[in-house]
Amino acid sequence: MSRIGNNPVVIPNGVTVDIKDGIITVKGKLGELTQNYDSVDIKVEDGNVLVTRSADTKDLKAKHGLYRSLVRNMIEGVSKGWTKELELVGVGYRASNQGQTLELALGFSHNIVMSLAPEVKVEAVNEKGKNPIIKLTSHDKQLVGQIAAKIRGFRKPEPYKGKGIKFVGEVLRRKAGKSA
C-alpha cells in the first residue's frame, strides 16, 4: 500500500486543476504546468486531488506515489514557487548575472557563460567577506533542480578543502589528506 499515494493533495485558493485525456494541467499565480499520466486515476473532489490505482502490482504501486508527488509539486510550484541556492566556495570564485545570463569565474582559463530558460529567475548575491550565492527561482521544480545540478557540475566540491560549487546547507564529507 502506498502511504504517499493515498494522501489527498489540497488545492489552495487561486489554483485550478484540469484533467483531460491523460493530461493534468495546474494553473496558478506563478504560471502553468502540465503533466502526462497513465495507469492511475486522478480526480478532483471537494478541493482535493485524489490519486487512485486499479490493482496492486509493483509497477502501479510505484506510479501511484510518483504521480501524487508530481501533482503536489506542481500545485506548490504554481502557488509558492521553488528556490535552490548554490554557494561558490573558493578563492576568486565569482558569479554575476545580466538578466537570464549567468557568468561564472571558477578558476578556469575562461569564464563560463550560461543562458538560462525564461521560466527560471536567477540572482547572484555577492557580499564582501562571504561566499557568492546563486539563487534560482521558478514554478517548475524539475527545471530548477536540473539547472542547479548543471551549475554544480561545472566544479563539484572536492573532499579535501571543500572548494567548488555546493548547495546551501549541503554537508560535505571531508578527508584528512596526507599525514606527515
Amino acid present at 137:
T
At residue 2 the predicted structure's pLDDT band, cuts being 50, 70 and 90, is: low
Give the residue among 87, 95, 75 at the shortest CA–CA distance from 34: 75
Q: Was domain 82-167 assigned CATH 3.90.930.12?
A: yes
Question: Which residues lie closer than 8 Å to 5 by C-beta, 6 or more apart?
Answer: 51, 53, 61, 64, 65, 67, 68
Provide the CA 172 distance to its chain's centre, in angstroms.
20
How far apart are alpha carbons 116 and 167 in whole angstroms?
18
Q: Any idea where the domains of the chain sit in the sequence? A: 3-79, 82-167
What is the topology classification, in CATH, of domain 3-79? Outer Surface Protein A; domain 3 (3.90.930)
Q: What is the mean pLDDT of residues 33-61?
A: 91
User: Considering the entire predicted model, what is its pTM?
Assistant: 0.89
Strand 121-125 to strand 112-115: parallel, antiparallel, or no bridges (unpaired)?
Answer: unpaired
Percent of the chain at pLDDT exceeding 70: 98
Q: Is the confidence at residue 1, as pLDDT, over 70?
A: no
Q: How many CA atoms lie within 13 A of 18 on its CB side?
A: 8
1-15, 22-36, 66-80, 165-179: the lowest-pLDDT one: 1-15
116, 98 contact by CB (below 8 A): no
Instruction: Quick: pLDDT tens for 97-106.
Output: 999 999 999 9
Instruction: Quick: pLDDT tens for 115-163.
Output: 999 999 999 999 999 999 999 999 999 999 999 999 999 999 999 999 9
pLDDT at 180: 58
At residue 178 the predicted structure's pLDDT band, cuts being 50, 70 and 90, is: confident
In angstroms, the Cα distances linking 33 to 26, 87, 99 are 5, 29, 23
Provide the CA 149 distance to its chain's centre, in angstroms.
9
How far apart are alpha carbons 92 and 67 in whole angstroms?
43
Instruction: Provide the mean pLDDT of the chain.
Output: 93
